[in-house]
Structure 1
Amino acid sequence: MFIKHFEIPPILEKLEALKRRLPVSHPKWNNIQEEWARRNAGFKGEKTVNYYLSLLDDHPYHIFHNLRLANGSHFFQIDFLLLTTRYTLIIETKNIAGELLFDEQGQLIRTINSKTDGYSDPVAQAQHHQRSLRKWLKAHHFPPIPVDYVVIISQPSSIIKMERADPAVRQRVLPASGLHNFIFRCDGAYQGEILDAKGLKKLSRLLIKKNVPLETDVLQEFSLAENELLPGVQCPRCNALPMQPLKAWWKCPECDHYSKDAYIRAIRDYSLLVSPTFTNNQIRTFLQLSSVQKTRRLLSGLDLSFSGNTKSRTYFYPG
């Protein structure tokens, strides 16, 4: 069963919001688009792996998506962790198209459309996570449960070529369609129960408790200022900015689309890009509204938590 469910990474949401809030002519728009495309490809690959994991029998497996754990001052992030009473399995996912050569020097070389590029070695990454998880488990006083790993190439059209002589490495780089068989081989290879049911629950709870999501300030990441963002409510049909506020609606001046709730995404964009906490004045300026009372009604309708009295109220947008 899924203990930490599959969800869109916050950084990807922030990049999507940033794309909405910058003009295409902005000098950094292409850099942002490239970063979004890279991370979105990774997310799609993880989505494929998540599908295969969702087909497994719930009972023996505890599954975690996107765990980020600390060993002292250093962090390591695992795409998927499969936990049982007999072993743990780290699943490293890569969504890379083309011909993929894992050479003897520990490089991943991708060739597509006659162009060759080098990538960081996902086998080395998975092995690093393996060592890190072993250290983490020891530091938290768990018995030495075996930690295995597999690298899944989620792009179905990719061709995997392996020069590595080590059979342990060769059998751990697979297409997504081979994931189930690898898990079943692990089920057969690891027979001794290291954790009982109580220990499995204890470890699962601790993994959730100790997970530290990465917080990225995308404005700072791309050296952008808040005043470079396009304010206003964006049309959900044609993406034009800004929509015109009417009494109970928002109207797009470009396509004449009417919406009652388009402002919600605008507030979400503000929370992702600027701050998850804001005042009436701050969000009113971003929505380009003139009425304090209307802004208050909109915020009240979202049932947000807040602190302070009416005049000095600060709202908290949920993460």
Structure 2
Amino acid sequence: MIVKEAAESIKIKKLRLLHKRFSPDHPAEKEIEGELMRSIAGYKGEKSLDFHLDLLPKEETHIFHDLRLPFGSSHFQIDILIITPSFFLIIEVKHISGTLLFDQEFHQLIRTYKDIEEVFPDPISQLYRQTHLFKEWLALHKFTTIPIESLVIISNPNSKIMSIPKNMNISKSVTHSTNLLARFHTYQKHHKKDIITKKDIKKLTRLLLKHHNQTDQDLFKKFNISADDLIKGVACPKCCKIPMIRARRKWFCLDCGHYCNQAHTETLKEYALLISPKIPIHECCVFLQIPSRHTVKHLLDSLKLPSKIAGKHKTYLLDELV
């Protein structure tokens, strides 16, 4: 059964907003777009496995998507973890098109697509690290030693899988998603004895969900940009163009002609996700592109947001919008 479903990450949501609020001419725009496309591909890869995961025995499996667990001063991530009474399975999902050459001499993945060659980190090495850290994490939390299998799944059925050196067989480590059920049955035949009790599985499930910490990467730092680089103004909820103009207490889009009353609410949500969960009136004037402090105060007050006052300055808390 699915315990933790695959969901669009906060990173993808923030990347979408960054991409929307960056000029195509900005030096960082292509880098942001590339990171967004890669993140979406990863999410789609995981979602595409739903059909194959649904074929697994529901009573015997506990399936977790996108776990991010603390270990020491850092974290490690697992795309998919499957818990059974006799073994655990860690899956690294890659949604990559083209010819995929797993170079096990230099531990890299070389992708050739439309005559363009790209090099990626080695998924097999990534999986080895994740498995090692998960074993350490289990030991830290006093769980009994249990067999852990690991598998890289290529979710695009049209991708061609190859490896070098040719005498090194990676088929036990890498397969297409269509082979997941057969591989799972192989693991079941190999691990027939139950190691972990139902009680301990429930305990482990609670612990995994408790310790999971969704990544909230500082994208401004990652791309060496600042909030000043963002296109300011209220985004049209219909065509996404920025800015809308405010006239007669309504928002009007000059591009598509759409008008509405509450377009600023979504823009404030974008501010909370990208910049800060709190906003002072003067900063709100800048971000919404409204010169009147009185108008901005009225809009914020109408949302009935909690606020804090320090001296003459009032700051509104946007957490409820996110």
Q: TM-score, normalised by structure 2?
A: 0.88
Write out per-residue CA displacement over residues 223-257 of structure 1, whole angstroms, 9 at most, x where no aligned residue: 22222211211113332211123456321022211
State the match for 2:298 in structure 1: 294
Cα distance in 1, alignment partners of residues 11 and 162 from structure 2 = 32
State the match for 1:39 in structure 2: 39
Cα distance in 1, alignment partners of residues 285 and 181 from structure 2 = 51
State the match for 2:194 in structure 1: 193
State the match for 1:118 in structure 2: 119
Listed as ranges, the matches of 1:114-263 within 5 Å are 114-163=115-164, 165=167, 169-247=170-248, 249-263=250-264
Deviation (angstroms), 1:104: 4.3
State the match for 1:76 in structure 2: 76
Distance 1:314 1:294, change over 3 A: closer
Cα distance in 1, alignment partners of residues 83 and 285 from structure 2 = 47
Write out per-residue CA displacement over residues 107-151 of structure 1, whole angstroms, 9 at most, x where no aligned residue: 322222233333211111111111111111011100001111110
Q: Which amino acid aligns with 2:141?
A: H
Q: CA RMSD in A?
A: 2.4
State the match for 1:15 in structure 2: 15
Q: Is 2:98–2:113's contact at 8 Å kept on the other side of the alignment? A: yes
Aligned identity (percent) is: 34
Q: Which amino acid aligns with 2:115?
A: S
Q: TM-score, normalised by structure 1?
A: 0.89
Write out per-residue CA displacement over residues 171-191 of structure 1, whole angstroms, 9 at most, x where no aligned residue: 231111111222222223222
SS at match of 2:314: coil
Cα distance in 2, alignment partners of residues 248 and 196 from structure 1 = 62
Q: Is 1:66–1:77's contact at 8 Å kept on the other side of the alignment? A: yes
Cα distance in 2, alignment partners of residues 59 and 281 from structure 1 = 56
SS at match of 1:209: helix
Listed as ranges, the matches of 1:264-283 within 5 Å are 264-283=265-284
Moved more, 239-248 or 95-104: 239-248
Distance 1:51 1:18, change over 3 A: farther
Distance 1:135 1:297, change over 3 A: same
Cα distance in 2, alignment partners of residues 292 and 34 from structure 1 = 35
Distance 1:115 1:243, change over 3 A: closer
**After the TM superposition, which parts of structure 1 deviate over 4 Å for at least 4 consecutive aligned residues?**
163-167
State the match for 1:317 in structure 2: 319
Deviation (angstroms), 1:205: 0.9
Q: Which amino acid aligns with 2:120?
A: Y
Cα distance in 1, alignment partners of residues 51 and 284 from structure 2 = 38
SS at match of 1:234: coil
Q: Is 1:78–1:92's contact at 8 Å kept on the other side of the alignment? A: yes
Aligned length: 314
Deviation (angstroms), 1:199: 0.6
Cα distance in 2, alignment partners of residues 246 and 59 from structure 1 = 59
Distance 1:228 1:72, change over 3 A: same
Moved more, 237-246 or 12-21: 237-246
State the match for 1:60 in structure 2: 60
SS at match of 2:283: helix
SS at match of 1:170: coil
